[in-house]
Amino acid sequence: MAAKDLFPEIEPFRVGELPLDDIHTMYFEESGNPVGVPVVFLHGGPGAGANASHRRFFDPRHYRIVIFDQRGSGRSTPLGEIRSNTTPLLIEDIERLRRHLGIEKWFVFGGSWGSTLALAYAEFHPERVRGLALRGIFLCRQSEIQWFLYGMQELAPEAWRAFAGFLPENERHDLLGNYHKRLMNPDPAIHMPAARAWSVYEGSCSTLLPSPETVAAFSGDTLALGLARMEAHYFQNGIFLPENFLLDHVDRIRHIPAVIVQGRYDLVCPIRSADDLTQAWPEAHYQVIPNAGHSAMEPGTRAALIQAMERFKQLS
């Protein structure tokens, strides 16, 4: 296999649903080697959900690949549900799934919001993490949320104009609050157009070069509703952790092998956050991809993530 290629398509050997509480049920799947080294994939957003391509970052002969959709996302039910949906609960869900599958320790792989959740999970449960593969670092600080809402207009004015222009002019001073109001409305005629506008904005800014396929995927109903509603919910609540929590607690994970992959021209999660993380955590292996944006599927980023998981075989 050439290093830059994804592994061949595979089907799960197990698909299941795990009740989490009286509201939420988690979709999960396992693929690859049933007795292999466990790795868990944490999808982005929050709310984006996972898909079949995410299995392909891992050698299926070596890894037991665990993928799940977080609360309110993808195939977990109910879609877009914000009740009982917080970062501490997502962390506990990962632990619940680990125990359910009988796994003692696993590698944790996540990009964008997946990097946020991976860091948070590792900081709460360092004894359960063999290693971390992180991409498109998002520390969920207020400065990063404001960049997403307003700052991206500096480099993507057309996409931002469509995003902001969805709202009446007198509501654009508070994009988060006024999008949140629409996204939480129970009427699909109100929340779905807002969800598509939000999600397409993010999709349009996720690749270095224009990608109609990416934008089309982000405009689909399930992805758009999960992504927009969960992001607005989490942003509105400061991700349910204190400001700067992830950097302030890096000492808890300093001993864990880690690879950080960052696109130089990532608009959605600018490189400043990855740089701040690596300044606080110099032990992590840091790789900047010079010709990449935010998406994990851009060639250089994809290759670096696959190579990271190949190197982690030595730790298995």
22 in catalytic set: no
Whether 76 is catalytic is no
Q: What is the Cα–Cα distance from 150 to 117, expressed in whole angstroms?
A: 24
At 235, give phi and psi (nearest 5°).
-65, -40
DSSP label at 142? H
Residue of 31, 73, 112, 273 marked catalytic = 112
Give the long-range contacts of residues 241-249, CB within 8 A, separation 24 or more.
Answer: 241/87, 241/88, 241/120, 241/140, 243/141, 243/142, 244/139, 244/141, 245/120, 245/123, 246/116, 246/119, 246/120, 246/123, 246/139, 246/140, 246/277, 247/139, 247/276, 247/277, 247/280, 249/123
Specify the DSSP element, H or E, that contains 249. none
Q: What tokens appear for 233 in the block?
A: 């919910």
Q: Is 294 designated active site?
A: yes
* Cβ contact 113:241 at 8 Å: no
| Active site residues per annotation | 112, 266, 294
